Structure 1
């Protein structure tokens, strides 16, 4: 299992945003300080208010709108699934983080959640996932926006 801890300035807004992306909220680990966002049976976001998060670190909490600390990437089942997930996020307070990237064998779009945390959604062609991107590119070509260095 993986638990990713992110901060929020508005817990209710964050819960609404992540449920719009198709996640569930686990009420057993959710209160006025934190929400447990369930992506799947092994992947969870603990969305924590700044005050609650301060209990776990002596470091300064950065503003994700102005500082990038990390990004989390999730695979989707298709390019259309990437697009529909991002569109749901945009309709619920998110903003697009850059432009879509189409490498032929892989398609990516990124969102800033309402607090500025970066979430990326990716679809990779099964052949590329199984045999590596070079095998896919050798058979199908590099695509419209080739990966640097390939």
Structure 2
């Protein structure tokens, strides 16, 4: 089984934990200390390692992206319904996140995006694949 660990630099680890906890997520205490925490997105499959800047820099000689000027990654999360998209995005905005763009509604697909307190862009999407247009040649 392949697991995904997205590693993200954060300025204030405690603030990041507060933000994600308010959105209903939890953390793996086994991989949590003053330098990092393991955000559980889908237990057994998908995690985000939130690393304070100095610790993050020990893994790469490259500069950390200034998220006020550049996007280093778009992280997309699926939701079970349109209402679930709105609920998560609204919680993010109510807890220190900011709007990253307009909602997108294609009928069979609906999404909203937000920036977390460190400026990382998260996309929350719902899709009804049975109503999606067929792709030519598929």
TM-score, with structure 1 as normaliser:
0.84
Contact 1:25 1:36 in 2 (8 A): yes
Shift of 1:63: 1.4
- Residue 99 of structure 1 corresponds to 102
- Residue 68 of structure 1 corresponds to 71
- Residue 111 of structure 2 corresponds to 108
Match of 2:41 among 9, 30, 39: 39
For each residue in 1:102-129, what CA deviation from the matched residue of structure 2 results, as whole angstroms up to 9, or x when unmatched?
011100100100000000000001414x
Alpha-carbon distance in structure 2 between the residues aligned to 1:38 and 1:134? 33
Alpha-carbon distance change, 64 to 72 in structure 1, aligned in 2, over 3 angstroms = same
CA RMSD between the two structures: 0.9
- Residue 80 of structure 1 corresponds to 83
- Residue 145 of structure 1 corresponds to none
Shift of 1:20: 1.6
Name the structure where helix makes up a greater proportion of residues.
Answer: 1
5+ long unaligned stretches in structure 2: none
Q: Secondary structure at the match of 2:69?
A: coil
- Residue 19 of structure 1 corresponds to 21
- Residue 146 of structure 1 corresponds to none
Alpha-carbon distance in structure 1 between the residues aligned to 2:118 and 2:58? 19
Work out the number of aligned pairs and report it.
Answer: 131
Alpha-carbon distance in structure 2 between the residues aligned to 1:35 and 1:76? 24
Shift of 1:61: 0.7
Q: Secondary structure at the match of 1:44?
A: strand
TM-score, with structure 2 as normaliser:
0.92
